[in-house]
């Protein structure tokens, strides 16, 4: 199988033995998934694609394979880091690799030129790591260095900020690459203004069982938990799940946070409400897939009378999706940039 993405096509033509290497933050590419080595990714869908082929894959927040094709075979002989569009996230991966792998381990860094791969030269220099260019093609570049211990720890990338909600404040954990990084999104703010009046009263005390889908830094989950809801926060991104967990803890709140590709981790579970500011980008491309699944499958995960509340950019085609899934919906707020929709099961 030939490589499908430009970055993998550049790697495919290298005269290198990648057996046992780690592929860090890789894209979806059949050539990678059918090849050698181990995927290290915060994206649940990437890891599941590798595991479906019987390939090893792990999150940076779990026990890691140490080389070869199975855990426990020693330190991997090298790693390839696919530079993300978020430069700060790429820097975190560098710090994590320096802290995780043995000094002297070869590291290749690959990415699209318009995605900022050439900025890795300054990032490596700031850490005291040398670098040489190996190749360039398909508007991509490939660099090589060797890992070493550095003064900064990966934990330094985690920060906190105070979200000012007018009548209250929430302390939120923040990490590069997580939606809402270090700021309160305007769409989320609009949704929060409607939640109090729009949520159905749950069974028992508080607001019942509520699902925060695509939780990001966990602001919706924390806001709901503070009001007595039994909150489950899910995201496909392991950084977001960790951020939501930290945000709940920072405010002395209790809730469940777990990785899920939309509803994949929630078979058979139902909620009194589902709230979401769903993503519609995959890297630079528009991707309605997750939001479409969120809406179309929501009736199967709502208790009778339960509600789905979604905020979205006004131009997105969610009305048709809501009409098909629920037979009707209301617009609770519209500031010309964002709309808050509600639909009842």
What are the domain boundaries of the chain?
A: 6-155, 158-344
Average pLDDT over residues 128-140: 96
Q: How far apart are CA 51 and CA 275, in angstroms?
A: 30
Q: Average pLDDT in the 211-216 region?
A: 97
| Residue % of the chain over a pLDDT of 70 | 92
Average pLDDT for the chain: 92
CATH fold group of domain 158-344:
Rossmann fold (3.40.50)
- Between 314 and 283, the more confident residue is 314
Residue 297: DSSP 8-state: T
Residue whose C-alpha is closest to residue 35's, from 17, 10, 62, 15: 17
Residue 285 has pLDDT above 90, yes or no: no
Q: Residue 57: which pLDDT band, with cuts at 50, 70 and 90?
A: very high
Find the mean pLDDT for residues 248-271. 97
* pLDDT in the model for residue 142: 98
Instruction: Evaluate if residue 245 carries a pLDDT over 50.
Output: yes
Q: What is the value of pTM for the model shown? A: 0.92
How many CA atoms within 13 Å lie on the side-chain side of 240?
Answer: 25
In CATH, the number for domain 6-155 is: 3.40.50.150
The predicted model gives 150-171 an average pLDDT of 94
- Cβ contacts of 195-201, under 8 Å, gap ≥ 24: 195/220, 195/223, 195/224, 195/275, 195/309, 196/227, 198/307, 198/309, 198/332, 198/342, 199/272, 199/273, 199/307, 199/309, 200/272, 200/273, 200/305, 200/306, 200/307
Of 343, 345, 291, the C-alpha closest to 313 is 291
Is the pLDDT confidence value at 68 over 70? no
285 beta partners: 282
pLDDT (average), residues 191-213: 82
Rounded to whole angstroms, how far apart are CA atoms 1 and 64? 27
The pLDDT of residue 281 is: 47
- Is residue 69 pLDDT above 60, yes or no? no
pLDDT at 203: 54
- The burial of 82, by beta-carbon neighbours within 10 Å (0-12 exposed, 13-18 middle, 19 or more buried), is given as buried
Please report which helix (H) or strand (E) contains residue 207, including its range: none
Mean pLDDT, residues 195-201 = 83
Which DSSP state fits 116? T
Task: Report the C-alpha gap between 245 and 223 in whole angstroms.
Answer: 13
pLDDT value of position 326: 98
| 174/158 Cα distance (integer angstroms) | 6
Kindly report the length of the chain. 345
Per-residue pLDDT at 63: 82
Q: Do domains 6-155 and 158-344 have the same CATH topology?
A: yes
pLDDT at 230 over 90: yes
Across 113-138, average pLDDT: 95
Distance from C-alpha of 101 to C-alpha of 77, rounded to nearest angstrom: 10
- pLDDT at 206 (0 to 100): 57
Q: Check whether 32 has a pLDDT greater than 90.
A: yes
């Amino acid at each position: 199988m030939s490589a499908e993405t430009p970055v993998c096509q550049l790697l495919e033509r290298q005269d290198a033995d990648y057996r046992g290497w780690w592929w860090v933050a890789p894209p979806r590419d059949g050539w990678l998934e059918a090849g050698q080595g181990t995927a290290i990714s915060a994206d649940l869908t990437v890891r599941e694609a590798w595991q479906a082929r019987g390939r090893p894959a792990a999150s940076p927040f779990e026990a890691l394979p140490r080389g070869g094709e199975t855990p426990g075979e020693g330190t991997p002989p090298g790693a390839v880091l696919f530079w993300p569009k978020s430069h700060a996230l790429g820097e975190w991966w560098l710090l994590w690799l320096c802290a995780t792998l043995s000094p002297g381990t070869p590291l290749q860094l690959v990415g699209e030129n318009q995605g900022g791969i050439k900025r890795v030269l300054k990032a490596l220099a700031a850490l005291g790591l040398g670098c040489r260019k190996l190749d360039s093609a398909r508007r991509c570049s490939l660099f090589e260095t060797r890992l070493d211990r550095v003064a900064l720890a990966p934990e330094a990338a985690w920060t906190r900020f105070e979200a000012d909600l007018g009548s209250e404040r929430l302390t939120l954990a923040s990490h590069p690459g997580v939606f809402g990084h270090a700021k309160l999104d305007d769409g989320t703010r609009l949704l929060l203004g409607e939640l109090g009046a729009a949520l159905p009263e749950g069974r028992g005390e508080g607001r019942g069982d509520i699902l925060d889908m695509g939780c990001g830094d966990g602001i919706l989950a924390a806001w709901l938990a503070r009001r007595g809801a039994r909150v489950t926060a899910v995201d496909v991104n392991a950084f977001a799940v960790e951020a939501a967990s930290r945000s709940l803890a920072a405010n002395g709140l209790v809730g469940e946070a777990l990785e899920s590709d939309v509803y994949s981790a929630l078979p058979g579970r139902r909620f009194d409400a589902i709230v979401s500011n769903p993503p519609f980008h995959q890297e630079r491309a528009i991707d309605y897939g997750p939001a479409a699944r969120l809406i179309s499958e929501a009736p199967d995960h709502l208790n009778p009378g339960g509600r789905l509340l979604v905020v979205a950019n006004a131009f997105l085609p969610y009305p048709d999706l809501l009409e098909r899934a629920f037979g009707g919906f209301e617009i609770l707020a519209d500031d010309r940039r964002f709309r808050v929709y509600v639909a009842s099961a």
